[in-house]
Structure 1
Amino acid sequence: MFTELHSRVLYKQSAPSLLRLAHFSSRGKSTPSTFNRKGGSKNSKPPISDNYPPYKFGSYSPLNLPDERSREGIKKLVDKITDFNELKIYPEIRSALIDEIKAHTVLRSQNYVSSTKKVKTEGELNGLIIRPTPIQTAAIKIINDKRQSHEFLKIFTLAAETGSGKTWAYMAPLLQQLLEGHKEHQQTMTTDVEIKNDGTNDPRVIEATSPYIKHRAGIKAVILVPTHELVDQVYETVEYTGEKLNLNVLKWDTESNFKVFIENFKKGIDIMVTTPGKLNSLSRYPSVHNPKMIFGSVSFCVADEADTLMDPSFVDETNNIIKHMTNLSSLVFASATIPSRFNKTIAHLFPDVINISTPSLHKLPKSIEFRMINASVSPYKGSKIKALAQALYAIHCDGTEQGYEKRVIVFVNKKEDCSKVAEKLAKSYGHDVTYITSEDTAEERKRKVATFVVPAQKLEDPAKPVLKVLVCTDLLSRGLNFQGIRNVILLDVPKNSADLVHRAGRTGRMNQSGRVFMIINDSDKGHIKGLPKVLRNNRRLG
């Protein structure tokens, strides 16, 4: 980190507005024209985005969509349901779900881009009405659907835009099936009218009688994620919920030891959160003679960020775990993008998969303002670093996020560029910068990212704005919830549509405002030809 350079004067020519910074021309000649995805150009008309085919760019595996009939069916389903009370889950699960969302809602990050946005009080935050997102409605409804006697194992893919609540989309069905498995007596599900506490009938409310909890040795559910940062993030949700539902949950990561695992295994682990590599390491201990001894009791498995866990670098480890789960009844693959390669892998390994996706899949959230900065024009003269430094200075001085420290994520394509960009920004322009690469240990990454995954801190002196910058690669673009991050800068053009979706998705989460700036030069224009119009039209990426 480069905090010793705080006293240096930040790079500036003048205090430019962000509108002035954003230059793009789709013609050969560069002109200072502004592209603002949220508002469009002055002469643009709001288009119907779904009339266009998905827009593809890059040389890597393109994005796929489920068939139109499937998406239309799910759209009709989610349009009918607007309340968690209309979904068949145990009341304890519903209560824990709503409490956890309120406790960790992105609305607690009140560093708004708009200076006119009203700051919410604690009472207002606790009084929020929590409604299911489309992916939560569809997943809970479909995964919890009653099974036929011959349907022992069912496999699902969950696909929804970034920041749409996918964790609870698979957590609610997981908990429902987990608690059903704990039954000591036959329980009945009431599918008609439930009497409310005030004695009135509400035909929307669908309740379920919760069973008693009984712990048995073994592991009942596993959540797999690709990085240790995501282990921490998902475990926070699982742990909060587990305390309310009297569940034994375990985080198995770099800081865990085998003795603790065995102690928990004997008591019975209800939910375990880990990475494929760390979970496979259990079979290397001498006392574990057969992997089925560890995995044989698992009935529910989730592969979160599944497009990563099923790509060539992870698929063997992931599949090795799944094939030893001989009593598996539910297998869920969750992701914000569905690349063609992922579809082919899943279809080959699990041909009977059920696809669940939202109507907005592969679109950038409407809450994001997307702008381009052309570094080929004056005053940058081809220097992307100068354009980046000027953009950071403009964000620093633009009057947004009043009273809170500002944080910006900068994405580059190559890990060796992380240190170069960070050092240049710190030494030449005086920015407070840190960088993360795959060469950092899990502990180092956790320490460096800590400032960016919590709500923005209030400033002691609001008259002195603070800006912190994190430079990273796609290592941190998958699933990580950067709380209250309002600005993301793409110093390098993403290699494909999937990378663009994930990088941009670090802001604008759960319909909260955010801005994404892509810095380009003349050599990039062919690669992104047509992208401004695509995003202005809210067209799907392919």
Structure 2
Amino acid sequence: MNFADLGLSDELLQAVETAGYSEPTPIQAQAIPPVLMMKDLIGIAQTGTGKTASFVLPMIDVLAHGRRRALMPRSLILEPTRELAAQVAENFEKYGKNHDLKMALLIGGVQMGDQIKALQEGVDVLIATPGRLMDLFERGKILLTGCELLVIDEADRMLDMGFIPDIETICSKLPTNRQTLLFSATMPPVIKKLADRFLSNPKYIEVARPATTNTNIVQHKVAVPTRKKREVLRHLLQTDDVSTAIVFANRKTTVRELAKSLKRHGFAAGEIHGDMDQPARLAELQRFKDGSINILVASDVAARGLDVKGVSHVFNFDTPWHPDDYVHRIGRTGRGGASGRAFTFVAPEDAEAIDNVEKLTGGKIPVYQMPAEETAPAPVREEKPRGERRERTPARAEAASRADAPRYDERAESREERAPRRDSRGEEQRRERRSDGNRSRRREAEPADDGWNGPIPEFLHVSALA
């Protein structure tokens, strides 16, 4: 099957061919015909399957006829994150170049004035995040009564981010006779309830079992103590034939510190996280796309919607707290039929999190065995006075590691990387001097005890009348 068999217009087929595509993916082949027939649709598809084009392509042809009106978008696409919204906008620009359609991007982190101006001129396609859309709607800057087509993308992610009440409000403001398309990687009960309420006799399409991962991705989990994560990551980046990689962490602070650490070790790394404003995030993403950097350290704000060709590896520096995020993180590689590799670092405290991931995906993730010479800990020796050396046993080393774990601080680790190591013998001598000094001060402060237990000498007798 090719795109010409799906009923798309010649102008659209030409744009698709120019973009370098000839055969539709399974989700595209199944979704495009019912969308062209104006049917409601539920699409369950894992990330990286070409889902975005499955609604962008037919929407362009559906909207080819009609006229724009000020403040009243003809269609609305809701996306959970700015990055995903920007990615959908790029798809419309790429495939709609032969059509007279106007598009507007309504996201946070961008000046509102330009967005309002675009709405006033009239748009055919409005791509928005729920927060910014609700903001403008409440200000009276947008009317939803003329919307003919609604797309709710990444519905399960919307649920995770707490957007479902906003989506219900938005849906209630739209015409009841609209066409609605809902896409999600999973179908939890809340999303099913949303679909039952706002979709009319939808066509149900499922190209993969919910929460399954792409079979083109070779997955591994790596058992590694928290303190060794950076070292193991650097080793894999240097030895596993990495061309481009995205490294995911759970915390924004971890993203910042890890990116700095990689740069200090000579890697071409960048970062993207929620504390960056939108222009900075887009600039960093563009550097990654054009090859100025080949490693992007990211928080989960970037886990969905990043569509960068040729990402060879994904590293979960932290095991994700939410198992759904695992599917979306590793979906940044192995896209468009290409193969990819995904490594998940599992520290002892991640046991429950990795169990939840494996329950969701329906199978055990193979354990990656690091080469023995890379993983065997070197004997830890403590310098002792008078030249004595005592080797720390594995049991003592493990106990010390457990004792240190609750106090672990990434920033402290970062400082340790920069600080020169002190000579252990000199440090021991300094500790002895401090100890001797403390003992001397204690002797001065405490009364002397020479062991005398006899009668009190007469020269010490004091008269009670004195």
Per the normalisation by structure 1, the TM-score is: 0.60
Deviation at 1:431, TM superposition (A): 4.0
**Paired amino acid for 2:57:** A
Pick closer, same or farther for the CA change 1:220–1:273 going to 2, 3 Å. Answer: same
The corresponding residue for 1:110 is none
Deviation at 1:310, TM superposition (A): 4.1
Residue 84 of structure 2 corresponds to residue 230 of structure 1: yes
CA distance in 1 between counterparts of 2:362 and 2:24 reads 31
**Paired amino acid for 1:238:** F
The corresponding residue for 2:342 is 516
Matches within 5 A, 1:131-210: 131-145=23-37, 155-179=40-64, 181-182=65-66
Give SS of 1:223's match. strand
Deviation at 1:390, TM superposition (A): 2.9
Deviation at 1:521, TM superposition (A): 3.2
Which residue, 475, 479, 483 being the options, matches 2:305?
Answer: 479
Give SS of 1:366's match. coil
What whole-Å deviation, never above 9, does each CA across 1:270-289 have from its counterpart, x for those lacking one?
Answer: 11222122222223446x4x
Mean CA deviation greater in 160-169 or 521-530: 521-530
Which residue, 269, 282, 288 being the options, matches 1:446?
Answer: 282
The corresponding residue for 1:57 is none
Residue 234 of structure 2 corresponds to residue 389 of structure 1: no
CA distance in 2 between counterparts of 1:526 and 1:271 reads 43
Structure 2 residues without counterparts, runs of 5 or longer:
367-466
Give the root-mean-square deviation of aligned CA atoms.
3.0
**Paired amino acid for 2:277:** T
Which residue, 248, 251, 255 being the options, matches 1:418?
Answer: 255
The corresponding residue for 1:92 is 11
**Paired amino acid for 2:215:** K
The corresponding residue for 2:329 is 503
CA distance in 1 between counterparts of 2:22 and 2:280 reads 36
Aligned length: 361
Pick closer, same or farther for the CA change 1:240–1:425 going to 2, 3 Å. Answer: closer
The corresponding residue for 1:112 is none
**Native 8 Å contact 1:389 1:425 kept in 2:** no
**Paired amino acid for 1:524:** D
Matches within 5 A, 1:63-74: none
Which residue, 250, 255, 267 being the options, matches 2:110?
Answer: 255
Residue 186 of structure 2 corresponds to residue 337 of structure 1: yes
Which residue, 187, 190, 195 being the options, matches 1:346?
Answer: 195
What whole-Å deviation, never above 9, does each CA across 1:384-431 have from its counterpart, x for those lacking one?
Answer: 352443333333345x36xxxx4322212233432343344455x454
Mean CA deviation greater in 515-524 or 163-172: 515-524
CA distance in 1 between counterparts of 2:151 and 2:344 reads 33
Task: Tell me which of the two structures has the higher relative contact order, counting C-alpha pairs closer than 8 angstroms and 6 or more residues apart.
Answer: 1
**Native 8 Å contact 1:373 1:387 kept in 2:** no
Mean CA deviation greater in 315-324 or 163-172: 315-324
Pick closer, same or farther for the CA change 1:165–1:312 going to 2, 3 Å. Answer: closer
CA distance in 1 between counterparts of 2:172 and 2:218 reads 44
Pick closer, same or farther for the CA change 1:419–1:273 going to 2, 3 Å. Answer: same
The corresponding residue for 2:420 is none
CA distance in 2 between counterparts of 1:263 and 1:83 reads 36
Give SS of 1:244's match. coil
**Native 8 Å contact 1:347 1:353 kept in 2:** no
What whole-Å deviation, never above 9, does each CA across 1:203-224 have from its counterpart, x for those lacking one?
Answer: xxxxxxxxxxx55553211222
Residue 96 of structure 2 corresponds to residue 242 of structure 1: yes
**Native 8 Å contact 2:31 2:43 kept in 1:** yes
Structure number with the higher helix fraction is 2
Pick closer, same or farther for the CA change 1:265–1:395 going to 2, 3 Å. Answer: same
Deviation at 1:319, TM superposition (A): 2.5
Deviation at 1:501, TM superposition (A): 0.6
Deviation at 1:471, TM superposition (A): 2.5
**Native 8 Å contact 1:372 1:519 kept in 2:** yes
Per the normalisation by structure 2, the TM-score is: 0.69
**Native 8 Å contact 1:455 1:484 kept in 2:** no
Pick closer, same or farther for the CA change 1:412–1:259 going to 2, 3 Å. Answer: closer
Pick closer, same or farther for the CA change 1:524–1:264 going to 2, 3 Å. Answer: closer
Pick closer, same or farther for the CA change 1:332–1:351 going to 2, 3 Å. Answer: closer
